[in-house]
Structure 1
Amino acid sequence: MKTFLNILYWFLIVVAVIQFIPIDRMNKPVNKKADFVRIYNTPQNIQKILRKGCYDCHSNETVYPDYAYVAPISWSIKHHVNEGREHLNLSVWGDLNRDLKKSMLEKSVHSIKDYTMPMPGYISKHPDANLTKAERTLLENYFGDILKTGNY
């Protein structure tokens, strides 16, 4: 029992200390002229779907929940957001080259179709981000239309 209490004591000390390791949760300023929805004059219904299912991880408009301020959970969330922005950042769409945009649109269509996006772990904490089949179809068609026109 004494060993258990000793381990618990040191565990709690470590958990308390790691709370002081800073995590940068500041979003970069959004240049509205480079934002995906503005460039394509995206219809309101599609914007709503993008904002509820994509923008939290794939833009510079991330809204961090309260639990994102508790280490080590905060480290994982920040890592996922950084990774999401690396794969697709809708806030800087206008600054990307044509080939990258095409690739991102194709991968987005694939991820929406096979239900890998939004990520199941994200949906478990944000149930409103769980896109319906109809919403997924709308996004797939919207991205597909952009790809067909070649205007990306």
Structure 2
Amino acid sequence: MKKIIKKTLFIGLIVFLLIQLYQPARNLGFEQDLTANFTRAYNVPKNVEHILRTSCYDCHSNNTNYRWYSYVQPGRSFMESHIKDGKKDLNFYEFGNYSKRKQESKLEAIVKQIKSDEIPLSSYTFIHKNAILTPTQKQDVINWINKTKDSLSSKN
């Protein structure tokens, strides 16, 4: 019985080491169209910009701040899946390229998800405690988005 356990652990270790060789491409793109970046397309106050960069940009931009654990599989693949899905849903670096209607829709969705505590994801804030939004931060972002949304509506 001990021989089977040792053999199983050895095989498990070998498999674990082999999967470390697979490292998906990193989300380290650079801003190509600076005017499309959310913070450049709108007059974002510094406090709101800081909140967004801390709590949102790792998954919703073209540039993720990778930490040490991002080098360990299978966590890396899980992380890349979240980033891919996040960017598909909303990419702050490309926000200025969205139609005005889509921008309004995305802003409304952000407010709704902040109010319902859906964002940032708990799987993200579990490790990134600084990304947890305080009630004041939530209100700052919501107030700024509502003001911005109103200005978008008046331009249409």
Provide TM-score, normalisation by structure 1: 0.94
Q: Following TM superposition, where does structure 1 have runs of at least 4 consecutive aligned residues deviating by more than 6 angstroms?
A: none
| Partner Cα separation in structure 2 for residue 105 and residue 26 of structure 1 | 23
Match of 1:87 in 2: 89
Q: 2:117 aligns with which of 115, 118, 121?
A: 115
% identity of equivalent residues: 32
Q: 1:39 aligns with which of 38, 41, 53?
A: 41
Amino acid at match of 1:72: P
Q: 2:132 aligns with which of 124, 130, 133?
A: 130
Judge which range, 72-81 or 25-34, deviates more: 25-34
Amino acid at match of 2:112: H
Structure 2: runs of 5+ lacking an equivalent: none
Offset from partner CA, 1:74-133 (integer Å, 9 cap, x none): 000011111111111000111112222122111111111111111111111111111100
**Superposition RMSD on alpha carbons, in Å?**
1.4
Structure 1: runs of 5+ lacking an equivalent: none
Amino acid at match of 1:106: E
Alignment length (residue pairs): 152
How far residue 26 of structure 1 moved from its aligned partner, in angstroms, is 3.8
Provide TM-score, normalisation by structure 2: 0.91
Amino acid at match of 2:35: K
How far residue 55 of structure 1 moved from its aligned partner, in angstroms, is 1.1
| Partner Cα separation in structure 2 for residue 65 and residue 116 of structure 1 | 23
SS at match of 2:126: helix
Match of 2:17 in 1: 16
SS at match of 1:125: coil
